[in-house]
Amino acid sequence: MAAAAISGYAFGMRPLLSWSTCATSADCVGVARQPYGRCLHHLEAEELEECLRSFAPGQAVDLRGTVINADLLDRVLTATGGLLGRARFDRARFLSPARFGDTAFTGDASFDGARFEALASFFGARFDGNLSFHETRFAREFSLYGSRVRGHLSLDQSTVTSDALFGEACLGSASFRRAELHGFASFDRTRFHGDAIFRGARFWRAVSFRRTTFEGAAGFESVRFVGKAFLAPSAVARRLALSGARAQGAVEIDAAGCPVELAGARVLGRLVVRLHDADLDLRDLVSRGESSVTRRGGAVRVLSVERLDAEEMTIDGADLSGCHLPGVAGPEGLRFQDCVFASTPRGRHQLRLSWPPRFWPRRAPGSRFRFFRFAWFGLVAVVAVATLVYSSTPQHQARRPAVRTTQANVTPYHG
* pLDDT attached to residue 409: 44
User: What pLDDT score does 353 carry?
Assistant: 46
- What is the reported pLDDT for 415? 40
Distance from C-alpha of 360 to C-alpha of 368, rounded to nearest angstrom: 11
Contact at 8 Å (CB) between 380 and 360? no
Question: Counting Cβ atoms within 10 Å, is residue 56 exposed (0-12), middle (13-18) or buried (19+)?
Answer: exposed
| Secondary structure (3-state) at 121 | strand
Q: Which amino acid is at 300?
A: V
Instruction: Supply the pTM of this predicted model.
Output: 0.78
CA atoms within 13 A on the CB side of 149: 28
pLDDT in tens, 238-249: 999 999 999 999
Instruction: Please name every residue paired with 336 in a beta bridge, in sequence order, or none if there are none.
Output: 315, 355
312, β-bridge pairs? 290
Residue ranges of the chain with per-residue pLDDT less than 50: 1-13, 347-353, 358-366, 369, 396-415
Pairing assessment for the beta strands 5-9 and 15-17 based on DSSP bridges: antiparallel
Please check whether residue 102 is in contact with residue 80, taking contact to mean a CB–CB distance below 8 angstroms.
no
State pLDDT tens for residues 145-157: 999 999 999 999 9
Look at residue 323 in the predicted model and tell me its pLDDT. 84
| Residues forming beta bridges with residue 254, ordered by sequence position | 274
Domain regions of the chain by residue span? 62-374
- Give the per-residue pLDDT at 140: 97
